[in-house]
Structure 1
Amino acid sequence: MQKILTANNFEVIPLDEFTQVRFYTSVDPGSYVAPHWHDALEMVYLQQGHLRVCSAGAITELTPGRCILINSGTVHSTFCSQPNRAVVFQIPEAFLQHYIPEAALLEFSFADPARTPQEQAQAVEIKQILLKMQKINDERPEGGILEFNSLLFAVLLRLYQGFGHKLLPSEAAEHKGSLKRLRQVLDFVQKNYQRPISLDEIAAVAGFERKYFCRFFKRHMGETFLNYLNKFRLSKIYSDVLYSTESISAILEHHGFVNYKLFRRMFAEQFQTTPSDLRKSRQAQLSSSPPFAAAGAMS
């Protein structure tokens, strides 16, 4: 899925003028988005293709007809090796808090397939509503904004009643504080990833000593800092391999990946292919007709 990120890997959620949420049909020709988060609840309902989502340390392989929910503030990454099409629905925390006073303490345990028949029936209902919202978004009928908003709240009500549970205030406060420190770290990575970054340097950015920083980062991001840094570089390299004509060596140099042996190993582990084969596959894909067309977001 293609996303708009700020300098610190904090995702920008454009707010629709009439709905105050973001709802659109995503058509992604192929991408890798490194671990990031945003202050919004996110639902992705895959319609065509395949999408791998790594969220809260768990990997979900989305296939057509499946839906995933990612809680606000949850670190996640996405990868699709082939074109896919999905409904994407993002609800900012501020919107939730306006209608649900305890929203800052809420987490949603939505899963598809669900854990129980009752929850699965609710999940099916939510997906059916998302399809109705998509139809309105695409066709823009008279009175569509009113109908769209009524369906929006129907989804929220089902999520709140069927899948919501409260965190302890201390848990929520700790999580918010950790995200604040992580933003400083990821901002620094975004600005400096093309050069070497030592653990001592990045620990100082977070205001920690080196050992504590390593534990802190792994606990909240699910991996070591150096692994994250190289994955971030990989996300930039992957895009350039697909969409530029630069040589592979020039792309690596531009994005600061100096260890070619490590790069080859990580690229193969992450994408199950080589850079040259990926580029050939993309060129072959472009020579054929596109599998599906994009639909615009509601404005």
Structure 2
Amino acid sequence: MNNVIYEKINLNPNLPALLGYFGKENTDVKRHYYIHSHWHRSIEINFVTEGELMGFINGKSISAKSGDFVLVNSGDVHEFEKYQGKLCGVVILVLSYDFIKKVYPNIDSIQFDIMNSNCKKDRLQEIFLEIKEFSLNKNELDYIKINSYIYEILYILLTNYRIQKEDNYTNNYFKYKERQKEILIYISENYKKELTLEHISKHFYMSSEYFSRKFHKWFGVTYKAYLNNFRLSKAYEDIINSDDNIQDIASFHGFSNIKSFISVFKQKYNMTPLKYRKYFKASKNNQKENKKWKQ
């Protein structure tokens, strides 16, 4: 994903939703994947088919294992991560807000809580496994069956996992989301510059202490940790996809010096950037050789 903060959902053709599957069948297990903090008005449901999915929703850490659902309500700020070398299979369904609004006009007064519910999820799991198969083995008329699944999923959500929002919840909620969006956009557009805590808090007319406290509450990490992780995720792509000098990559993506970049990189990947590049290229070459032998 690019520097997306408010994410506009591009729906699948003939469907009021975006759906897909990401797992060992169609992604590189050895790669690290990180989806930056963002939000959208659509409702997103992730079903973990294998491995583990890590992330944050509204500043709260989540860890979902095989068989678990992770539901992101409209407006929730969320990010997800899959570590290199670890399996993680996820079926993703993002339901259009406009579609839900037409089917259930009172959508703005409710939200869904599937993760803390004791209701059985057998039927939902069956449907999402079917969606996985549709994603891997596409057919011209699949959308007809998938549309029926979407209506059934929405019915299950409304009958089993619906909870009422408090009065004035919606207006306050999206007011704060707008401020969060502004902060994340500012970081994504200026992360290559020297973005000290003092600089960004002054930009948003807050004291450093207040900004730091709010940032941690909203996103679940400190401002420094978020900025380093954002810069690192951008530098990571250049590490594995180019032969550029490591120091040049670090400088280009906002790290003040090569020492700090290597330190942050090692904390995440347990090796230096140069060693990781060699490791990643060697693993890619091994995969190519294995494919040749199988053929």
Same-fold call, TM cutoff 0.5: yes
Counterpart residue identity of residue 96, structure 2: P
- Secondary structure of 1:169's match? coil
Deviation of 1:262 (Å): 4.1
Counterpart residue identity of residue 220, structure 2: G
Deviation of 1:131 (Å): 1.9
Inter-partner Cα distance in structure 2 for 1:184 and 1:97: 26
| Cross-structure match for 1:96 | 100
Inter-partner Cα distance in structure 1 for 2:134 and 2:57: 30
Greater relative contact order (CA < 8 Å, ≥ 6 in sequence): 1
> Any conservation in 2 of the 1:185–1:205 contact (CA below 8 Å)?
no
Cα pair distance change 1:134/1:229, threshold 3 Å:
same
Cα pair distance change 1:217/1:240, threshold 3 Å:
same
- Secondary structure of 1:33's match? strand
| Cross-structure match for 2:165 | 167
Question: CA deviation digits over 1:103-160, x for unaligned, max 9?
Answer: 223222212xx653xx2x2x22112111223334444556532221111111111122
| Cross-structure match for 1:289 | 287
> Any conservation in 2 of the 1:236–1:255 contact (CA below 8 Å)?
yes
Deviation of 1:91 (Å): 1.5
RMSD (Å), alpha carbons: 2.7
The one of 48, 64, 72 aligned to 2:74:
72
Q: Unmatched 5+ residue regions in structure 2?
A: 289-295
- Secondary structure of 1:86's match? strand
| Cross-structure match for 1:35 | 37
Deviation of 1:196 (Å): 0.4
Cα pair distance change 1:265/1:71, threshold 3 Å:
farther
Q: Quick check: 1:44 aligned with 2:46?
A: yes
- Secondary structure of 2:243's match? coil
Inter-partner Cα distance in structure 1 for 2:8 and 2:210: 30
Inter-partner Cα distance in structure 1 for 2:268 and 2:168: 36
Q: Unmatched 5+ residue regions in structure 1?
A: 291-299
- The answer to which of 236-245 and 13-22 deviates more is 236-245
> Any conservation in 2 of the 1:184–1:206 contact (CA below 8 Å)?
no
Q: How many residues align?
A: 280
Cα pair distance change 1:24/1:150, threshold 3 Å:
same
Q: Map residues 1-299 of structure 1 onto 2, 5 A cutoff.
A: 3-6=1-4, 9-26=5-22, 27-29=26-28, 30=31, 31-80=33-82, 81-82=84-85, 84-111=88-115, 116=118, 119=119, 121=120, 123-141=121-139, 143-289=141-287
Deviation of 1:253 (Å): 0.7
Counterpart residue identity of residue 196, structure 1: E
| Cross-structure match for 2:291 | none
Deviation of 1:188 (Å): 1.5
Inter-partner Cα distance in structure 1 for 2:129 and 2:2: 24
Counterpart residue identity of residue 99, structure 1: V
What percentage of residue pairs aligned between the two structures are identical?
24
> Any conservation in 1 of the 2:117–2:161 contact (CA below 8 Å)?
no
Deviation of 1:87 (Å): 1.5
Question: CA deviation digits over 1:24-70, x for unaligned, max 9?
Answer: 12244322233332322222223355432233344344444443222
Deviation of 1:73 (Å): 2.2
- Taking structure 2 as the reference length, the TM-score comes to 0.82
Inter-partner Cα distance in structure 1 for 2:48 and 2:237: 22
Counterpart residue identity of residue 76, structure 1: H
Counterpart residue identity of residue 99, structure 2: F
- Taking structure 1 as the reference length, the TM-score comes to 0.81
Deviation of 1:184 (Å): 1.6
- Secondary structure of 1:196's match? coil
> Runs (4+) of structure 1 moved beyond 6 Å?
none
- Secondary structure of 2:105's match? coil
Cα pair distance change 1:59/1:280, threshold 3 Å:
farther
